[in-house]
Amino acid sequence: MVPGSPAAAGLFFLLVLALAAPAAAQGDAKRGAYAAKAGGCVGCHTEERKDAVRFAGGRALKTPSARSTGRTSPRILRRASENGARPTSCARCARAAARRRALLSRVPVPSFTRINDADLKDLWAFLRSLPPDARPSREHDLGLFFRWRFVLGIWKWLFFTPGALVPDAARSAVLNRGAYLVQALGHCGECHTPRNFLGGPKTSRTLAGAKLPDGANASNLTPTRLKKVGDDELKDLLRTGLTADGDVLGESMAEVVTNTTSQLTNSDLAALIAYLRSLPPLPDEPK
């Protein structure tokens, strides 16, 4: 092969691609750090105490059915949380495992399954860059009935559809980005959508507001409420947690502002608001 020939140049290009492929497959930790902020990961996976190790787990989360402890793991993130299944030895087995070994976890997998592969790889890279914490993960504190995995399997069969969110060709790029932030990474519907008696989301009432396990009310995010607030005012609210009249958001949403919405870029925050304004207005959830 003659140096400088087209064949040599082509071989060099293939070698560069081969060397770059493993790094690309591992994801980008910097982008993963941003995705973790957009996903609010630190809120559930860090204890509520001074000097707690971030992302080290151990936080008790109240649910209508049980209490569980937030736990973070690259394997759970990449191979399992997108499917609601326990980790397997192979990423390709995760979707099949979802049908067999349901996670006993508070991870909002119905939303996180919509996260795209690129963000999942970046999140994994970010988590792998964190310093290890020596404490073992705490076991879930669950009632006997909720320890039966087949019950979770039935719930998933009823209410869980695996798969990344597909952009809507009828939407603009801005609205598709907003939909992705709301439906996937930001998992807004997990709190702002009411649930039926089995704990499944009422899809006809998506983002219309809901009662939270701690007794607080998650507000209606459809234009029914948002039409009363201008874009600049809404951006300030999501940046600071302060309303225009000087009031403050409740404790749970204030934490979301601190960990998530205040960390979004200007373009992502604008996309999120634009998407919420594009939704059909729904009446508030009955008290």
Same domain, 233 and 259: yes
**Contact (CB, 8 A) for 95 and 77:** no
The pLDDT > 90 percentage for the chain reads 42
For residue 239, what pLDDT is reported? Answer: 95
Question: Is 20 part of a structural domain of the chain?
Answer: no
Same domain, 126 and 91: yes
For residue 178, what pLDDT is reported? Answer: 98
Picking from 129, 144, 164, the residue at the C-terminal end of a domain is 164
Mean pLDDT by 10 residues, the chain (287 residues): 48 44 71 95 84 80 54 48 45 40 63 93 92 79 68 83 94 98 96 91 95 86 92 94 84 90 97 97 87
Same domain, 40 and 140: yes
Question: In 3D, which of 163, 62, 76 has the Cα closest to residue 111?
Answer: 163
Question: Is 176 part of a structural domain of the chain?
Answer: yes
Same domain, 184 and 129: no
Same domain, 160 and 208: no
For residue 70, what pLDDT is reported? Answer: 45
Q: What CATH code is carried by the domain that includes residue 237?
A: 1.10.760
The predicted model scores a pTM of: 0.79
For residue 88, what pLDDT is reported? Answer: 38
Which residues are paired to 242 by β-bridges?
248
Q: Would you state the structure tokens that stand for residue 166, as one six-digit string? A: 């597909």
Picking from 132, 164, 196, the residue at the C-terminal end of a domain is 164
Same domain, 116 and 156: yes
For residue 74, what pLDDT is reported? Answer: 46
Same domain, 102 and 59: yes
Same domain, 212 and 89: no
Picking from 110, 136, 164, the residue at the C-terminal end of a domain is 164
How many CA atoms, within 13 angstroms, populate the side-chain half-sphere of residue 71?
Answer: 21
- Its domain, for residue 70, covers 26-164
Question: Is 150 part of a structural domain of the chain?
Answer: yes
Q: Would you state the structure tokens that stand for residue 272, as one six-digit string? A: 């999120």
Same domain, 145 and 189: no
For residue 17, what pLDDT is reported? Answer: 42
Q: Strand runs (DSSP E) across 13-108, as ranges? A: 60-62, 67-69
For residue 52, what pLDDT is reported? Answer: 84
Q: How far, CA to CA in Å, does 223 sit from each of 253, 256, 278?
A: 19, 20, 8
For residue 155, what pLDDT is reported? Answer: 82
**Contact (CB, 8 A) for 192 and 209:** yes
Question: Is 95 part of a structural domain of the chain?
Answer: yes
Same domain, 153 and 169: no
The count of domains in the chain is 2
Q: CA 211, 217, 219, 224 torsion: positive or negative?
A: positive
